[in-house]
Structures are given as C-alpha cells and as structure tokens.
C-alpha cells in the first residue's frame, strides 16, 4: 500500500512536469502576447473556518489574552520596535543588518521603553499567581518580537533576580529586588565556565572566607575557570551571581552562589575583575555575552546567598542539609524557570514559522495538472501537506505541554520539585528540538523567500539554535530524565510498592496489547494511542533497568553502566516525553464540549500520536508494531493530512499572532516585492 501511494505520487508529479515542459506549440502563447499576471488572493476568501479561532486561541495561550494583545499593540506603535511598511502593511522586527553593537544598544532601548510603561512592575517584588501568569505572558509576547530581547530580560529577571529571590533570604530581598525591578542595577548570572557547562559541579572558580575581615575572596585559578557566555556581562551588567566552589578551612563545601559587583554606576569595570566580549555569534547578537575573570575579588560575607547554607562571622560552615548531593540539588532547584520559559518560547517560534509557511502555501501556486489549467496551491499538494501539517499537529500538542509545564511550575512545592525537574528537562529538550526541525522545514517550504531575513523564518533558525544547548544540553537533559525514571523503578522494586509519580502509574496496570489489525477507527482512538505510548515506555524502562543491571553484574560502576546504556536511555527519554505530551493533549481536549472545535482537536491529537509512532524506530525495533501495522500508521497520517488541510488557515490564525509580527510573505507577497515598494 505504501509503495502504491509512492507510485501514485511519482506519476502525479511526472504528469505536472510533463505538462509544464512539453506543452504543444498549438497551445503555447505567442511571445508577442502577454500572459495574465499572477495576482494575490487572500486565503480568507477561499478557506473556511469551521470553528471559532478565538476559542482555540484561549486553549493555546491559556492565560492573559487581553494583556498579550495590549502589549502587541504597544510594541507595534513605537519606532523603537523598527516598524517597516511593505506592500501596504506595517511589520515590526529587529533590524538584523545592524552591527552587533547597534543590536545590543537597541535591546537596551527597548527594555527602557517597556520599563517606562510599567511592563515589569511586580516581576520580582509582587506576589501571587496572577502576577506570575502576567509576567510569563509578557515575556512570551516579547519573545515573538525578538529572541535577544526576551533572553536579555530572562537573564536579568529570571536568573539574576530569581537567584536572589530563591537562593537569598530577607536581607538580600530587601537590598536587591526593588533595584533589579527598576533597572537601578543590571544583573547577570555567572555559572558556565570555559571548561564546564552542563557539569556545574565541576566548575573551577574558587571562593575562600577571610574571617579576619569578614569577607569572601573569589578567584579564577586557571583559564578554563573563566566565566563564559555570561549574558549581559560584556557591556551592561553592573552585578553578577557568581557560582563558585566554597572552600572553608581547607574543606570544599561544594558549589555556592555569591553576589558580586562588576561595574560601577558609570559603567567602569571594577578593580580585581577582567571582562572580555564573547564576540559575534550566529544569532542573539542583541545579547552582550561576556567572559569574566576574578583576581582576589573581595565581597562582604552578607553577599553569600544563604537560603541553603551560610558561613558564620568566625568562619563556621552552617547548613541544615548535611548531604552534599541534596544540598547541591537544593541549589539548582530554583533554576527550573529557565527551562520552562525556553520550552514555551520554542513553541511560539514554531508558531511564527508555521503561520508564515502555511499562509504562503495557501496563496502561492506551482505547476498545473491540466493543459492551460490553473496552477495548484502549494498546500493542495499531498507532499506539501505531509511536510507541514504533522509539524502543525505537534506544535498544538506541545502548546498544551507548555501550558501544563507552566502550571506545575507556578504551583510547585518542595514535594513536586522532582517531577518539575524531570518534566521540564524532557519538555525543554523535546520542544526545542521540534522548533529547530520546524524552522528548517518551514524555511524550505517557503523556497527562496524563506532566505530573506524580513520573512523571519530563515533567520529564526540562527536565533533559536542556542536553545538546544543553553540551560542544559538537550542530550544531557534527556539522560537525566532516564536516570530519574531508572531511580524510580529501582526504588519501587526495592520497596515492592506500586509506582506513584512521574506519570508512571500506568506501570501498575496490565501491559497494553496492540491489536494485530489496526483499522482507522482503532488508530484514531485515544485508548490505542495512549496504550501504545505506555507500552513503549514501560518496555524501554524494563529493558534499560535490565541492561544497567547486567553491566553492574560484570563489575562496572553504576555511573559507567549508565554511560554504556546511552542508546536505551535516549529511547526511554523520548518515550517519556511523547507520552507526557500526549496526556496533556488529551486533558486539553477533554475540557472542550462536543462540536467542531473538539472534532479538529481530535484530528490533531491523532496526527500527533501517529506521527510520533511513524517517526520513532523504537516501535519497529522492539516489535511494538508489526511492519504491516507500521504501514497502516503511515497511511493514516497521510489520510489525516487531507482531513486537516481544510482547517489549516483557521489553525494558524488561532495562534493569535498579529499580522505585524509575521513576515511579508505571510500576506501580499506580490505587493511586498513590487517595484513601488523599493526605496528609491
């Protein structure tokens, strides 16, 4: 069946190309005659909306819709956001033709504009869920305009400010939070080093305590210990959080966080500090990443962020958490916000690219299938649907996953920190990988127009590429997920109790069985889909545990055994993430009443689930699907593409991204490229 479909597609394309290249002379147009010129026809004129897009947007954005639209409008009306007229429309986007220095200056001007209008009020000093939700909504809107701007804000408020808020105590809150919120001081976050990124425990910066003066002394003992990629350090930051090994009386107490001033109010670098620029990057040049060296830098004892551990005036180390591993985990727990905001912003980037590519494909035509017939819309080609619509379904699924991630972050408790860490690690990796794949496919789907910076899609690849490695390398994060699942498995087996937490409760149920014959009805049922995902996850977890046990039985250490089991660890991490995302989709779908909106969500959920099955070789590798059933899955995805196709415009319109924040090819690309649009 799959080969038959492939043959039909080949015949279809061959027929189109034959008509294009070998049209008979009697049907050709005289060179003296003029062909009718192409004209732009808005897709709204020929595409139908079967559901209310505003209702779909409420599901996708989840919160603060009016606040988002207000900020969109505020940005659209200011020259600081670089409005440009094209084809009778105004678009706002950063000018990436500017030098690195100019882009950095524009980032700070935009922050000043937002600050003057009260955007950041309460971001650190306020309390309550409503303020937290509004803060996230505003950051998401800012990120749709410019990733550099959102990263710069993220470093200042979520990393620097978050560290003071969560690592610090009242004395730090009183002294630093208000001035951070008003930008009286500008903060950065010095954790990564030249020699250590993901392995925070291995950082080499060293701090000792001088009990005679009541000061800590910070040093960069070697070149590999220089702080690296520190956003804000190269030009603007006045203060930083320094992560350093703390040595008390010759004993290393592990990684701790300190507040250090690196510039005075006039922007001069402080004594005993050296700062260098990281230089031009493939993206994010509106962020001034820098490198920092410390040479016997003295700071007050009170600048130790002491919510987890403290040092008394006479030099005694004090902590209620005696276990070094637990203490280190407590230090890192508050940093989850970075992974949460990165995961969510990746999906908004995917939405920009899909809205642009799909709108373009609903107005751009190529080749005709009959002599002198009209050319075919790109999205009416099954091959084009296959390229974009599964990515659209995945983006919807991951929007719901992002919303779930925000909710568990906002409602976090000490007891839920482990779940938050595992889910945020899995989703950050999965959603950012998905974004990079989506951007590439949408760039190609836009042809040459996708290369133009003004159309955004191509350039966003370089802007968002960093997301796969900062705030945790994706591969490392996925290994952490598998390690956490393995620990849960071992603990449950040891205690001989049912699984509880991390979504592993399905392990307590009988093992799902995949039917030998997969009809369309079965393939689209939630029971089959979640059953297949749970079967994969439980089997991979059992296999992974068995493999680690085998390596240990041969005398390998637990750590090395885990390294040897990396392939199953990767498969398991993906299985966990896919299953968790599917569950968030099902939960979102369950909140919708029977009707057109629910029907479309059902199509998208099935496309997401079946696309995951089609793309993950584990389903065939470990025998969860027979080759015959795998072929049935592939055929069903193609069928779903044709059923989702009529809803494509409504689905991208539901993203709620204003026209001005997309590129010109999303609208009248002929007028936008006309001679009259050229600045003479």
Helix (H, G, I), strand (E, B) or coil at 300: strand
Average pLDDT of the segment spanning 248-272:
95
Q: What is the per-residue pLDDT for 16?
A: 42
Q: What is the per-residue pLDDT for 36?
A: 66
Q: What is the per-residue pLDDT for 677?
A: 81
Lowest mean pLDDT among 18-32, 269-283, 316-330, 517-531: 18-32
pLDDT in tens, 270-325: 999 999 999 999 999 999 999 999 999 999 999 999 999 999 999 999 998 888 88
CA distances (Å), 620 to each of 536, 589, 624, in order?
11, 29, 6
pLDDT in tens, 106-139: 999 999 999 999 999 999 999 999 999 999 999 9
Q: What is the per-residue pLDDT for 334?
A: 65
Mean pLDDT of the chain: 93
Tell me the pLDDT band of 20, cut-offs 50, 70 and 90: very low
pLDDT at 372 over 90: no
Rounded (5°) CA angle 649-78-667: 25
| HSE-CB of 630 using CA atoms within 13 angstroms | 16
Q: What is the per-residue pLDDT for 514?
A: 93
Helix (H, G, I), strand (E, B) or coil at 79: helix
pLDDT in tens, 589-630: 999 999 999 999 999 999 999 999 999 999 999 999 999 999
pLDDT at 19 over 50: no
Tokens at 190, concatenated: 């010095």
Q: What percentage of the chain has pLDDT greater than the value 70?
A: 94
Q: What is the per-residue pLDDT for 456?
A: 95
Tell me the pLDDT band of 332, cut-offs 50, 70 and 90: confident
Tell me how many helices (H) and strands (E) the chain has: 24, 15
Tell me the pLDDT band of 32, cut-offs 50, 70 and 90: very low
Average pLDDT of the segment spanning 474-492:
95
pLDDT at 17 over 80: no
Burial of 149-173, coded b for 16+ CB within 10 Å and e otherwise, reads: bbbbbbbbbbbbbbbbbbbbeeebe
Judge residue 679's burial from the number of C-beta atoms within 10 Å of its C-beta, 0-12 exposed, 13-18 middle, 19 or more buried: exposed
CA distances (Å), 612 to each of 235, 291, 475, in order?
44, 41, 19
Tell me the pLDDT band of 680, cut-offs 50, 70 and 90: low
pLDDT at 141 over 60: yes
pLDDT in tens, 158-171: 999 999 999 999 99
Question: How many angstroms from the chain centroid is the CA of residue 508?
Answer: 32
Closest by CA position to 593, among listed 9, 51, 42, 212: 51
For the residues of 606-675, what is the DSSP string, one character each? HHHHHHHHHH-THHHHTTSS-HHHHHHHHHHHHHHHHHHGGGHHHHHHTT---GGGS-GGGS-HHHHTSG
Beta bridge partners of 276: 291
Question: How many angstroms from the chain centroid is the CA of residue 172?
Answer: 31
pLDDT in tens, 417-437: 899 999 999 999 999 999 999
CA distances (Å), 446 to each of 85, 293, 563, in order?
21, 45, 41
Average pLDDT of the segment spanning 455-461:
95
Beta bridge partners of 289: 231
Phi, then psi, of 318 in degrees rounded to 5: -125, 130
Tokens at 353, concatenated: 């690219």
Q: What is the per-residue pLDDT for 1?
A: 42
């Amino acid at each position: 069946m799959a080969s038959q479909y492939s043959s039909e597609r080949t015949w279809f394309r061959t027929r189109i190309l034959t008509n294009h290249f070998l049209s008979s002379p009697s049907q050709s147009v005289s060179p003296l005659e003029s062909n009718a010129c192409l004209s732009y026809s808005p897709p709204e004129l020929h595409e139908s909306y079967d559901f209310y897009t505003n209702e779909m947007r409420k599901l996708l954005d989840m919160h603060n819709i009016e606040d988002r639209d207000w900020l969109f409008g505020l940005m659209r009306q200011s020259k600081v956001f670089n409005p440009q007229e094209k084809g009778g429309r105004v678009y706002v986007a950063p000018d990436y033709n500017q030098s690195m220095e100019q882009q950095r200056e524009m980032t700070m001007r935009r922050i000043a504009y937002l600050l003057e209008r009260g955007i950041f009020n309460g971001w650190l000093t306020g309390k309550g869920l409503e303020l937290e939700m509004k803060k996230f909504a505003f950051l998401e809107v800012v990120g749709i305009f410019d990733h550099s701007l959102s990263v710069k804000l993220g470093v200042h408020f979520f990393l620097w400010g978050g560290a003071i808020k969560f690592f610090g105590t009242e004395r730090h809150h009183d002294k630093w939070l208000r001035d951070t919120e008003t930008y009286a001081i500008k903060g950065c976050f010095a954790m990564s080093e030249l020699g250590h990124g993901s392995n925070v425990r291995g950082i080499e910066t060293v701090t000792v305590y001088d009990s005679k003066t009541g000061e800590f002394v910070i040093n960069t003992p070697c070149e590999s210990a220089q702080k690296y990629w520190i956003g804000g350090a190269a030009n603007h930051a006045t203060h930083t959080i320094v992560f350093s090994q703390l040595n008390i009386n010759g004993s290393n107490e592990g990684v701790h966080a300190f507040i250090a001033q690196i510039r005075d109010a006039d922007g001069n670098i402080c004594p005993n500090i050296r700062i260098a620029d990281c230089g031009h990057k493939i993206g994010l040049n509106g962020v001034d990443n820098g490198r920092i060296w410390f040479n016997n830098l003295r700071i007050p004892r009170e600048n130790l962020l002491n919510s987890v551990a403290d040092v008394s005036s006479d030099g005694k180390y004090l902590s209620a958490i005696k276990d070094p591993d637990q203490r280190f985990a407590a230090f890192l727990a508050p940093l989850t916000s970075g992974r949460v905001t990165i995961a969510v912003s990746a999906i908004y980037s995917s939405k920009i690219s899909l809205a642009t590519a799909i709108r373009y494909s609903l107005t751009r035509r190529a080749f005709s299938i009959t002599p002198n017939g009209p050319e075919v819309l790109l999205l009416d080609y099954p091959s084009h649907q296959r390229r974009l619509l599964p990515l659209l379904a995945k983006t919807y699924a991951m929007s719901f996953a992002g919303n779930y991630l925000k909710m568990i972050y906002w409602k976090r408790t000490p007891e839920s920190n482990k779940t938050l860490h595992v889910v945020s690690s899995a989703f950050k990796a999965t959603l950012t990988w998905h974004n990079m794949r989506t951007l590439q496919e949408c760039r190609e789907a836009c042809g040459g127009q996708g290369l133009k910076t003004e159309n955004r899609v191509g350039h966003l690849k370089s802007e968002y590429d960093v997301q796969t490695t900062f705030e945790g390398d994706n591969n490392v994060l996925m290994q952490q997920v598998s390690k956490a699942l393995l620990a849960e498995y071992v603990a449950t087996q040891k205690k001989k109790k049912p699984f509880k937490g991390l979504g592993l409760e399905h392990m307590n149920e009988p093992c799902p069985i995949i039917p030998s014959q997969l009809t369309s009805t079965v393939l689209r049922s939630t029971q089959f889909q979640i059953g297949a995902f749970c079967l994969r996850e439980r089997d991979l977890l059992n296999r992974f545990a068995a493999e680690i046990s085998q390596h240990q039985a041969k005398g390998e250490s637990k750590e090395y055994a885990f390294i040897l089991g990396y392939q199953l660890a990767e498969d398991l991490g993906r299985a966990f993430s896919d299953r968790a995302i599917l569950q968030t989709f099902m939960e979102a779908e369950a909140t919708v009443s029977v009707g057109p909106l629910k029907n479309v969500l059902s199509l998208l959920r099935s496309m997401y689930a079946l696309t995951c099955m089609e793309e993950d070789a584990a389903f065939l590798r470990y025998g969860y699907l027979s080759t015959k059933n795998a072929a049935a899955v592939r055929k069903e995805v193609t069928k779903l593409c044709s059923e989702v196709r009529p809803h494509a415009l409504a689905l991208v319109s539901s993203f709620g991204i204003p026209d001005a924040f997309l590129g010109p090819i999303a609208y009248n690309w002929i007028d936008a490229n006309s001679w009259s649009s050229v600045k003479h």
